[in-house]
Every structure is written in C-alpha cells, then in structure tokens.
Amino acid sequence: MNIAEDARWIGQPLDLGSDLKAEVANTRHLVRLLSDHANANRASAAAAYACDLLDKTLAAKVTGPVACAKGCHHCCHTYVSATIPEILRLAAVIRENNLPIAGITDAAGRAAAIGQDGRFLNRVSCPLLSDGACTAYGGRPLACRTMLSRSLQACLDYFPLTGAGALMYAGGARETRGRVEIIFLAALSLAQLPRQHIELTQGLAIALTEDDVEERWLAGENLFAGVAADTGEGEGDALKTWVPILVNAVRATL
C-alpha cells in the first residue's frame, strides 16, 4: 500500500463519482486503524473516523433544503441499527459525558420484546433523547447522521403510526451514507471483524455493561450474540455488489 499516495484522499470529502481512488484509500486507512492491536479502542476509533468522513461529505455534497433542526425528533422513535464499532463508539461518548444508562437498559428490554417487525407500530423512543434533543449527538451512528429530511411535513405524515407518504431525503444524503457504509463494511471485512448491523439500544446496553467490552469483542468474544441482526441489512444491490468489489480492490494492495 502507498501511504503517501493515500494521504491526498484520507479524511477528505468523497466526490461520489465513479473514480474509487478515495474509497480505496479511506478503506486502507480504516484497515490500518483496525489492525493497530496496540490500541484497545481501535474499533470505536474506526467508527469515529467513518462518522467524520460522512459528516465532511454530507457538508460538501448535500443539496437543497434540510428541514431537520434541534428539537425535531420524529425519526428517533423507530427501529435503528448500527455496526458494533459504531455502538462501541456511542457507548464511549456516553461514558465520557457521564450520561445516565438506566433508560438504555429499559429501552433495550422493550425493544427485544417487540422485535424488529413490530417496531413501526410499537414505538420505542431512543433513550438518549432529552427534551427532544440527542444527549450524545457527537457519537450518533451513521444511520442517524444521514436522516436528513427536506420536508418536515413528509416526516409528520410518515412517522406517526399511520406511516402515510414517504420520506423525502435531502439531495445526496442517502448516496453519501451508502458510499461511507461500503467503505466501512469493506474495512471490517478486511480486518476480519463482524460487520453486521444490530439493533441499537440492545447493543448499547451490552456495550455499557463493562469498561472492557470493546477490548473483549476485538479479542473474539461474541458478546453481542443475543442481539438479532438487522433483517433489512444490505437490502438492495448496492452493498451486496460494491462491498466485495472494494474488498477485492483493497486486499490486493495490503
């Protein structure tokens, strides 16, 4: 791998075009992060990097109006999934800010009892919400960062129990999430780490049980085995097609 050549792409906004040099470079960088066994928190560090890359690309590429604002939390009461490193990163932010975790345990129990299919009609509010705002905003996962709506009315129509209408994403938001997820999942695959998405609150409750959960997970303990994987993960062709392509392109250069 050519680290010097990669430097021009690492941590810079993606152009979302057909030239995948930036995707390859950022995947290689994430593999290096995930392979640094001297860092017991390398999984959450990699997730933080992916979130930063997403934020930079969103800032550069999202077009049109964004209706979302502080206090708008219509999308924070339904099913959300994330990779385990993203959940570990969120747990670290919760610890750093000394946020209460009792509500997380309660929400995890209710989410497990309902199951994924029942979550649209039986809502479980995100336990990190307080007065309509996220108390761990800086650590939120990729899915939350890209829930950018260009229409408040569309959210008001969609997120109540009727589920009428359709979400109206700000231009470029979904494409950006897809591109960063492909990079992150490819890096996890190359680092031989689990890459499945699991329900957020249940995963978070486990991640907060002990301070060494991340270190133990990286060592191979299947600590999240009791949390079901997202049944919609990889729905559509993009992830199924492009993650293996990126894995093969990067593997040859490692």
How many helices (H) and strands (E) the chain has is answered by 11, 4
- Indicate the Cα dihedral angle 152, 179, 141, 170, nearest 10°: -10
Q: For residue range 28-61, list pLDDT tens digits in order.
A: 999 999 999 999 999 999 999 999 999 999 999 9
Asked if residue 217 has pLDDT above 80, the reply is: yes
* Residue in the structure block whose two tokens are 């999202």: 62
Q: For residue range 150-176, list pLDDT tens digits in order.
A: 999 988 888 876 667 788 999 999 999
DSSP H stretches of helix in 35-190: 42-61, 84-96, 102-114, 142-145, 152-158, 173-190
Asked if residue 236 has pLDDT above 70, the reply is: no
- Cα gap 90→104, rounded to integer Å: 12
Answer whether 43's CB lies under 8 Å from 191's CB: no
By 3-state DSSP, what share of the chain in percent is helix, strand and coil, each rounded to 5?
50, 5, 45
First and final C-alpha spacing in the chain: 5
| DSSP per position, 47-72 | HHHHHHHHHHHHHHH-BS-----TT-
Closest of 138, 135, 141 to residue 79, by C-alpha: 141
